[in-house]
Structure 1
Amino acid sequence: MNVKSILAAGALALLASTAWAADTIKIGNIVVTAGFLKSVGEPTLTAVDIAVDEINAAGGINGKPIELIRFDTGSDPKQASVGARKLAQDDEVLAIVGPFSSGESAVALNDAERLKVLMMPTSASAPGLTDGRKYGWRLTEDEFKQFGRLLKSLKANGIKSDTAEIVYISEEVVSNAAGTKLYPALLKENGITHGDPIPVQYKSFDMSAQAAQILASNPDLVAIAALPESASKVIGELRRQGYEGRIIGSQIFADPNVVELFGPEGEGTMVVAGFWRGFSPASEAFNEKFVAETAKRGIKKAGAHHSDAQAYDTLFLLKQVMEKVGTTGDPAKLEEEREAIVAGMEGVRFSGILGNDICFNGHDAELPGYIIEIKNGEWTKFDSAPADKCE
């Protein structure tokens, strides 16, 4: 083959590669399948895959299939930053779904601002996370609002809640913030007296001292800010030592799997979540499909976590916005189309499995809250609060 033939072949290969790339809509997905967030974060991949499969089966976005490109942080916030840079710069995605947690997102959202690409975390619920940002948006409800709804529901339904103690995981970003700032502020606001927040470490096995400290005051409530496994250890030790009061938590361990994880000791525990499987037929259908699909992957789920539902709806929200602004996926128009997508988020209204006619105050969605009680060994809806109105 002569030089001209070689150059011609190379040019054809380049054109073919470019044409293929332009025939898909590239979306990045920062995920977690290892580290301390694995148990709560890994199932979200299934929710995203279900959404992508459904969208592509229905014709994709503007007639083009979604090409999902993933990056795994391993629960390390620094890796979330690496992932944001790789997906935006090397893979040239149009938008990024993820990271999973607030700790990861607090870092990666800075990269999204610098690289000018839309980023939508899937579970990050720390208050104020998107404040002052142009490219960071959340289809989630922050912990402050949701936990406040739980406390108001307790009072409204006559559940004794005059005194409380707080336990939190010291080295986990959201748990620490919830236990040291959010819980104390909201308990005070609702007229509930509490002691100094009690820290425990994520890897702690013996929590007898902390439980004994709580038993000494015998509060009406114990508010736990922890991921499911750590919350289970605290609850188990409290019950072992004879605590009979109500145990409550925010969205941090609001996962249907905790019913089995907590066992009989978890009876009466109350949390608040942003998703209820019975909200609509579509919500029920997603929940059933999610449980079946995770089982195929060797993951046992009693039901979808609100993080899973949020991730699923995020893909459909992106589809709606991209179709509205005419996203083509053309690499030559990458920067232009990224900006159009972000502009398309302004004033958007969206209906999905989380709720109907969802709007955004600032860059945070306004979602309903569901007060969940573990009752008779079941994940049951105790109460609900409608989504707040947007300004």
Structure 2
Amino acid sequence: MQPTKTLFAAALAATFATTAPLAAQDTIKIGHIGVASGFLKSYGEPSNVAVDIAVEEINAAGGINGKPIELIRYDTGSDPKQAAVAARSLGRDDEVLAIAGPFSSGEASVALNDADRLKILMLPTSSSAPGLTEGRKYGWRLTEDEHKQFGRLLAAMKEKGLPMATAEIVYVSDEVVANAAGTKLYPELLSAAGVEVGDPIPVQWKTFDMSAQVANIVQSNPDIVAVAALPESASKLIAELDRQGYEGRVIGSQIFSDPNVVELFGPEGDGTLVVAGFWKGRTEQASNFNEKFVALANERGIHKLGAHHSDAQAYDTIYLIKQLMEAAGTTGDPAKLEEERQAIADQMEGVIFSGILGDNICFDGHDAELPGYIIEITGGEWTKFAEAPADACE
């Protein structure tokens, strides 16, 4: 695994009144554990774009405490073991002050152990598995867990009077969050909502033919099919449901709530309901980010119709780190590395943050309390069906 090192300050030499190469103490070193290869590439790579936008904006505005961010990025290749290697490399070799990432729950569940050992703040950018930060000292996340968001989706459906007496669950068994959602979270919350649920039906990520599983679903003819899968797997299932004549509604949590699914699902996706932690129309700043993100992603050959909430979370995570460092008076002096790392981590206690995800975001435990947006695909468009405000912190 090779690091991708990005020093945005070099292109902003005039801003920082120097044309000479910047010494280590002249930059603020932030690590980023991202995904640019492997099976999560199509989901993780756009988040790298969001991080780059935030870093470029911050550096263009004067950096952090007058110094530019030096972003050091490692690609995990979608491998949790490599996320741990990346954390150790960033902490010991690159001597970064804080780490944004890893991307997925599987990666974060491993790398957060190293964050605690290294005593360095780590903020995963997409991981939403329930309980991931419990017992962690240096691991926090600016994300909302699947349990709360899927519960909001079911509550919105009930409030709108949608048919939901019966349900079947299909989940991808070899993906960490999908497995947990399909075997534990969905059955629990659907049952709590008074929905009669069949035994969860497992499929594998590389499964091509889902006709047998779908035939069983069509035979039971449930009001809803709850899918716990990444977009490609979800699209194959939706296409097969349509082919076999299923007329109910497909729902899902945050796992496949990407604006690109309106193209991926096609006309068969109309009526699908998901929940997301970002809505582009929430504020002018959110809208501006979405436009900038789509433009830069497509410029890099990454086709995007809009920002996924993981992208918004990655963007806001960099701004949150900036806020913490400014409050801690971070200098980037290598001689003060351990002291400054601890000071940055200490700033997370009681922090209040406002960004494109929401205003006055607080943390209950080590998890942010974020709003939820129920999204319906209608006429091939990503539309807001309902929304839920962020819960208060204790």
Q: State if a TM-score over 0.5 links the two structures.
A: yes
Q: CA deviation at 1:36?
A: 1.2
Matched residues in 1 for 2:93 and 2:316: separation?
Answer: 26
Q: Which runs of 5+ in 2 are unaligned?
A: 1-19
Partner SS state of residue 345, structure 1: coil
Distance 1:151 1:245 in 2: 15
TM-score computed with the length of structure 1 as normaliser: 0.95
Q: Does 1:384 align with 2:387?
A: yes
Alpha-carbon separation, structure 2, partners of 1:105 and 1:307: 14
* 1:35 to 2:44 alignment: no
User: 1:168 pairs with 149, 168, 171, which one?
Assistant: 171
1:243-269 CA distances to partner (integer Å, 9 max, x unpaired)?
Answer: 010100000000000000000110100
Structure 1 residues 286 and 148: CA distance shift in structure 2, 3 A:
same
Measure how far apart 1:317 and its partner are: 0.6
Deviation at 1:216, TM superposition (A): 1.2
Q: Tell me, yes or no, if structure 1 residue 183 matches structure 2 residue 186.
A: yes
Match of 1:125 among 114, 125, 128: 128
The C-alpha deviation readout for 1:41-73, integer Å capped at 9, x for no partner, is 110110000000000000000000000001001
Task: State how far apart, in whole Å, the 2-side matches of 1:65 and 1:213 are.
Answer: 57
Hey, what's the Cα distance between the residues in 2 that align with 1:19 and 1:115?
A: 26
Counterpart amino acid of residue 148 in structure 2:
K
Q: Where in structure 1 are there 5+ consecutive unaligned residues? A: 1-16
Of stretches 255-264 and 31-40 in structure 1, the one that deviates more from structure 2 is 31-40
Q: Which amino acid aligns with 2:333?
A: D
Instruction: Please name the residue that 1:81 is paired with.
Output: 84
Q: Percent identity of the aligned residues?
A: 74
Residues in 1 aligned to 2:219 and 2:119: alpha-carbon distance in whole angstroms: 53
Corresponding residue pairs, total: 375
- In structure 1, the residue matched to 2:108 is 105
Normalising by the residue count of structure 2, what TM-score does the alignment of the two structures yield?
0.94
* SS, match of residue 346 in structure 1: coil
Cα offset, 1:117, TM superposition: 0.6
Equivalent-residue separation in structure 2 for 1:326 and 1:288 (angstroms): 32
Aligned to 1:373: 376
2:298 is the alignment partner of 1:295: yes
SS across alignment from 2:23: helix
Counterparts of residues 235-274 of structure 1 (less than 5 Å): 235-274=238-277
> 1: distance between equivalents of 2:34 and 2:84?
12
Q: 2:187 and 2:144 mapped to 1: Cα distance?
A: 19
Residue of structure 2 equivalent to 1:23: 26
Task: Give the CA deviation at 1:32.
Answer: 0.7
* Equivalence for 2:156: 153
For residues 357 and 134 of structure 1, the distance between their equivalents in structure 2, rounded to whole angstroms, comes to 22
2:74 corresponds in structure 1 to 71
2:311 counterpart (294, 308, 313): 308
1:207 aligns with 2:210: yes
Q: 1:345 aligns with which of 315, 324, 348?
A: 348
Q: CA deviation at 1:387?
A: 0.1
Deviation at 1:34, TM superposition (A): 1.2
Residue type at the aligned position of 1:249: G
CA distance in 2, matches of 1:184, 1:210: 18
Q: Following TM superposition, by how much is the alpha carbon of 1:33 offset from its aligned partner in structure 2, in angstroms? A: 1.2
Deviation, structure 1 residue 19: 7.3
Query: Runs (4+) of structure 1 moved beyond 4 Å?
Result: none
Task: Report the residue type matching 1:82 in the other structure.
Answer: V
Distance 2:346 2:365 in 1: 13
Q: CA-to-partner distance for each residue in 1:77-118, whole Å, 9 max, x for gaps?
A: 100000000000100000000000000000000110111110
- Tell me the equivalent position of 1:45: 48
Partner in structure 1 of residue 197 of structure 2: 194
Q: Secondary structure at the match of 1:41?
A: helix
Q: Deviations over 1:227-283 (max 9, x none)?
A: 000000111101100001010000000000000000011010000000000000000
Paired with 1:34 and 1:228, the residues of 2 have a C-alpha distance of 17
Aligned-residue Cα RMSD (Å) equals 1.0
Q: Which has the larger radius of gyration?
A: 1
Q: How many Å apart are 1:146 and its aligned residue?
A: 0.2
Can you list the C-alpha shifts for 1:117-164, whole angstroms capped at 9, x where unaligned? 100000000000000111000000000000000000000000010110
2: CA distance, partners of 1:218 / 1:80: 42
The structural deviation recorded for 1:35 is: 1.3
Q: Does 1:328 align with 2:331?
A: yes
C-alpha distance in structure 2 between counterparts of 1:321 and 1:148, whole Å? 31
* Per-residue Cα deviation, 1:8-41 (whole angstroms, up to 9, x for no partner): xxxxxxxxx9971001000000011111111111
